[in-house]
A and B are shown apart, each in its own frame.
Chain A
């Protein structure tokens, strides 16, 4: 590039950047936002097997919230979400603290903990299903060892099946939380630890009162990632219980898929997905707001 071309190159450079972004922009606008609006449109029509262009107002939503299965799905996903997020955060944090002790074989352990996240739940869910099956897995093994009264049949029990699913989901996602927390822990300066040691503060207290608050951004990221996976939870349920026993482990994602394909009811399915979309937006908005505010404050500092 010669110096003579400099005055015009500003526009040229921006032009190139925008041109490069165009395909992505078009994809987002038409493929992503377009389909979102189309789904919302279908949700206010009487569509069944085929999309129709009539308008029935809120009828699909009325039907949706009159459906026992949908309400049960919402209830289940809340129970699952609370257990899943809390357990992942606690377990992920403890794992990160453990690895942060400069243990031997850190690289291996980190990979082992993170590995479940890299595997498809369609495969691992099947193994979990066998492990938790009262006739095949843990329960029958322990009973064979002589503990005849040992019972561990969560996956086959109406009011405990969500715990069984949360257990498997935590196994999968805790490693991811560990990785996020570990990155945060590594970002904390050694001098802080030295200062605390001089002051004679017990280690657990340092973690609780100093380290945890400093991990705020990591925790925030983890919570958002986990929340989104709660809202769209589907594969783990399909692989482990298919929504059963009965309707006890039905989740919104499965309700949508069943109605979209098996039950030829795309109007109802679109109404349900619109409700899910609004839920995700409601979860994301406070986080994005907080992040924007933090960025502004950071600028002043």
Chain B
């Protein structure tokens, strides 16, 4: 601990003394927020890959995404940026790109043919005005359906639901069997994930994209009202303890078979693994209803703050190359619980959920960008407020429609 500390102090001193920064070969200071057990093991894979490529990795882990992002931005504004900084695959870094504060990684992107190998929604997020400003490292799917096989068997549900109707029928069966049908964590961000899932799976990809583009006609359409009504209907399948429940507490309800289904990101898989459960055996997963269901894409990227220091630029290029190389991608994503950004990797070592995910990613028509890629953080936040209010109060569907319409305008 102490050694780590003095190392950090040493590192910051090295940054202050410009001359000293050149002393180490390809020194890269990386700000990220992967601090939990599985996450730090995952970033260690990237660090190992970077060291193997001849670099010196300086780890700047800051707990919490918001804290890490604001630290990165503060250091960029303050003129003492890190070599690389983590953001989500989203519009979070759009403002600093527009402010001319990032170096692009066009060279690495061209050499590795990113235009061909990366999925379109991710390309759209990282390629701004024809330049590549971020390196994607993983694809997270924020809205998987996780279910307890034991609970489904007890309720007499034979197969995974293939349509919204079958889904609600299954929930009714779970309820009749005395099981909490939906394991729900009533925190605004979780409510938003469930809302986005229903918008994509009940409303469909087209409606989803139109709503996030601020199409007022789509927002006032009967289809969108149906999505809102279905979302609200889901509440009758949750228990009284759901408000403010943490996502992992909800996951453990599925693990113990007390609840049937949870709609949550693929990071929930870590909870099942920690409870010694295997995908396909004790629990099941499906990314949506039926074989053509949209697959929502989210994830993490690293950006490279602007610098004219040739050595630092070399480090940035090397980092970008290592992060996207197939070997690092598989090693990193296996530990992270996400899937690789490229589909040309060997998926055999991954579990059935990840394999389902990779299969879904191969079908371009199923790829659907996460809402944060489509609108600014400000608007995501405003929509989250609308969704949480609608879920928790007696607000009518029509009033919610008006609130959504106002929120997407920003």
Contacts and interface: CB of A to CB of B under 8 A. Distances in A.
B38 interface: no
A202 B391 CA distance: 56
Contacts of A153: 240
B67 A50 contact: no
Contacts of B77: 50-51
Interface string B70-82: 1001000100000
Interface stretch (A95-103, A170-178, A203-211, A242-250): A242-250
Contacts of B187: 242, 244
A137 B381 CA distance: 31
Interface string B365-397: 000000000001110110001001101110000
A48 B73 CA distance: 12
Interface stretch (A179-187, A228-236, A255-263): A255-263
**Majority DSSP secondary structure for residues of A touching B:** loop
Given A244-B392, A245-B392, A247-B388, A263 B377 contact: yes
B66 A262 contact: yes
Contacts of B242: 156
B244 interface: yes
Contacts of B244: 129, 155-156, 240-242, 244-245
Contacts of A69: 385
Interface string A98-121: 000000000000000000000000
Contacts of B279: none
B388 A135 contact: no
Interface stretch (B9-17, B91-99, B114-122, B328-336): B91-99
Contacts of A240: 244
Interface of A: 48-51, 68-69, 129, 133-136, 153, 155-156, 158, 240-248, 258-265
22 contacts: A49-B96, A68-B385, A69-B385, A135-B241, A155-B243, A155-B244, A156-B240, A156-B244, A158-B392, A241-B243, A244-B188, A244-B243, A244-B388, A245-B186, A247-B392, A261-B70, A262-B66, A263-B377, A263-B378, A264-B95, A264-B376, A264-B378
Interface of B: 66-67, 69-70, 73, 77, 92, 95-96, 99, 101, 186-188, 239-244, 376-378, 380-381, 385, 388-389, 391-393
